Amino acid sequence: MAIARDATSSTSSASASSLTWAHTCTGSDRILIVTVGMDADTTCTATYNGVSMTEIGNAQRSAGGVKTFLFYLIAPATGSNNIVATLGTSTKVASGAVSYTGAKQSGQPDSFTATFNDGTTSFAVSTTVVASDCWLVGGTRMQDGLAEPTTAGGITLTEAPTTGAGQKTVLSDSNGTVGTGSQSITWGQGVADNISGVVASIAPAVAAGPTTVKTWDGVTQSTGIKTYFGVTTANVKSVDGAT
Amino acid sequence: MIDHLTQENGGALLKEDGGAISHDGFVSVTEVQIVGSRAFHYFTNTTTQELVRVPCTLAEYDSLAVQGAAQPSNGSGFVWVNSVKENEYDTVDGDLHDDQYAVTPSGHKVVRLSFFPPLLVDSVEADEIVNGKIDALKFT
């Protein structure tokens, strides 16, 4: 089953120790990704509809602050529900969220990288993708968001500026599947400044494979199974009674 | 580093909004205290596009994090944007104002500088505010 983007949302605050906004999830084999960017060296947790999200990783500049968190939740509740990001201190914070359908419902993320740079206009974050047909998704906190941020290797999904400050949190994805091996998202900011980010690969749901059964004539088949009555079907009762 | 400042009047640095910073780049800041937390819902007025801030209790805010929580409403004509929990300061309205700072429980200092645009600095090291003054140019 192929991954498809479902919905995005974002919000920000000039100063908050907790930030709440709405996000709507629909479809099947869902996964929700949330990025939270802040300007303090602090902790962060996130919930969706009261369910704790799992942190994929976080990164901040070497001197602290300009920090990015990335979280995921498999099978988030459908409908419009609250995302709550809770920080260890009151700080400038901006967030983005994206939900997908067709995602594998265990073993996520496929891979991830969390890193930073203390002064660059072009910030590439690579991760080694393992599974076929993954999407990349990533969040970044950039110090200089006064110029329009850019995303290479994908598209910008949400861009949340912080009121009264130049910093921005940007959420991006690959806008499609990527190959296995090293893949990256590259963000650009206006001037060489601090930036941090987390990029993860999200694996697709595994399609229901053919069921292998031993038929009445003793032949093990996985497709086009012909029953004793000569009817070809995908759902047969085998000689041992199992369907 | 000083994109938002202009140099006039014999070397004094003037902010674009007309306020003055001494020529050595230091501004006077006043300490206020963090007295607790408070919470707000933010709504957009769909007619005027104005952002409206509505106070709520901390219990009301925390209830947003439970399963199946209802989303805040301010009646028709308003769309919920977000809700926040933030520091409350011992100022008249509880806000941190321009050129005020407070020491956080972790020992860092949060400072609001009256630059253009106003600049909120979350984490200032203890030795960066000396005798009530801060080197503003470090944060431009």
CA–centroid distance for B74 within its chain? 24
Percent helix, strand and coil across chain B, each rounded to 5? 10, 45, 45
**DSSP type of residue A213:** E
**pLDDT for residue B114:** 74
Mean pLDDT of chain B: 77
Rounded-to-integer distance, Cα A34 and Cα B48, Å: 30
State whether B122 and A47 contact (CB < 8 Å).
no
Residue A143 has pLDDT above 50, yes or no: yes
* Residue-by-residue DSSP string for B102-122: EE-TTS-EEEEE--SS-EEEE
Residue pair B101/B124 in contact by the 8 Å Cβ criterion = yes
For residue B126, what are the CA distances in angstroms to B102, B129, B134?
A: 11, 6, 11
Q: How far is CA B119 from CA A46, A94, A100, A170, B126, in A?
A: 27, 16, 36, 20, 18
Tell me if B96 and A15 make a contact (CB, 8 A cut-off). Answer: yes
Across the interface, whether the CB atoms of B83 and A49 are under 8 A apart is answered: no
pLDDT tens sequence across A147-190: 788 899 899 999 887 665 578 999 999 999 999 999 999 999 88
pLDDT bin (cut points 50, 70, 90) of residue B15 is very low
Q: Which of B64, B86, B105 sits opposite A84 (nearest CB)?
A: B64
Chain B (42-101) residues lying within 8 Å, Cβ to Cβ, of chain A? 61, 64-69, 71, 80-87, 96
Nearest-CB residue to B84 (from A13, A39, A64): A13
Contacts of A21 in chain B (CB under 8 A): 81-83
Considering only CB atoms, A92 lies closest to which of B67, B104, B120, namely B120
Is there a cis peptide before residue A204, judged by omega within 30 degrees of 0? no
- Model pLDDT, residue A16: 92
pLDDT of residue A241: 53
* Among A115, A154, A152, A122, residue whose Cα is nearest residue A137: A154
Optimal mutation site among A17, A18, A48, interface B, most CBs of chain B within 10 A: A18
Most distant pair of Cα atoms in chain B: their distance? 62
Q: What is the 3-state secondary structure (H, E, C) of B44-61?
A: EECCCCCEEEEEECHHHH
Strand ranges across the sheet with B100-103: B30-31, B100-103, B109-113, B119-124
Please check the confidence at residue B97 and state whether its pLDDT lies above 60.
Answer: yes
> What does the alpha-carbon distance between residue A3 and residue A226 come to, in Å, rounded to a whole number?
33
Query: Which residues contact residue B118 at a Cβ distance below 8 angstroms, ignoring those fewer than 6 apart?
Result: A164, B98, B112
For residues B83 and B18, the model is more confident at B83
- Rounded Cα distance between B30 and A234, Å, is 77
**Most B-contacting residue of A53, A66, A90, A144 (CB-CB within 10 A), to test interface:** A90
Cα B107 to the center of its chain, rounded Å: 18
- Which one of A9, A10, A12, A15 makes the best mutation probe of the B interface by having the most chain B beta carbons within 10 Å? A15
**What's the confidence (pLDDT) of residue A229?**
56
Give the side-chain half-sphere CA count within 13 A for A81. 20
For residues A205 and A212, which has the higher predicted lDDT (pLDDT)? A205
**What pLDDT digit, counting tens, does each position of A15-38 carry?**
899 999 999 999 999 999 999 999
A154 backbone φψ class: left, alpha, beta (φ>0; ψ -120 to 50): left
Give the type of residue at A197: G
The H or E element that residue A152 is part of is strand A150-152
Instruction: Respond yes or no on whether the N-terminal peptide bond of residue A161 is cis (omega within 30° of 0).
Output: no
C-alpha B125 chain-centroid distance: 18
Which amino acid is present at B40?
F
Residue scoring higher pLDDT (B35 or A190): B35
The side-by-side arrangement of strands in the sheet containing B26-28 is B26-28, B133-135, B129-130
User: Quick check: ipTM above 0.85?
Assistant: no
Res. B17: pLDDT tops 70: no
Chain A interface residues (partner B, CB cutoff 8 A): 11-22, 39-41, 47, 49-51, 64-65, 77, 80-82, 84, 86, 89-92, 164-166
For residue B123, the model assigns a pLDDT of 56
Q: Alpha helix locations (H) across chain B?
A: 58-62
Confidence of residue A65 (pLDDT cuts 50, 70, 90): confident
The residue of chain B nearest to residue A16, with distances taken between CA atoms, is B86
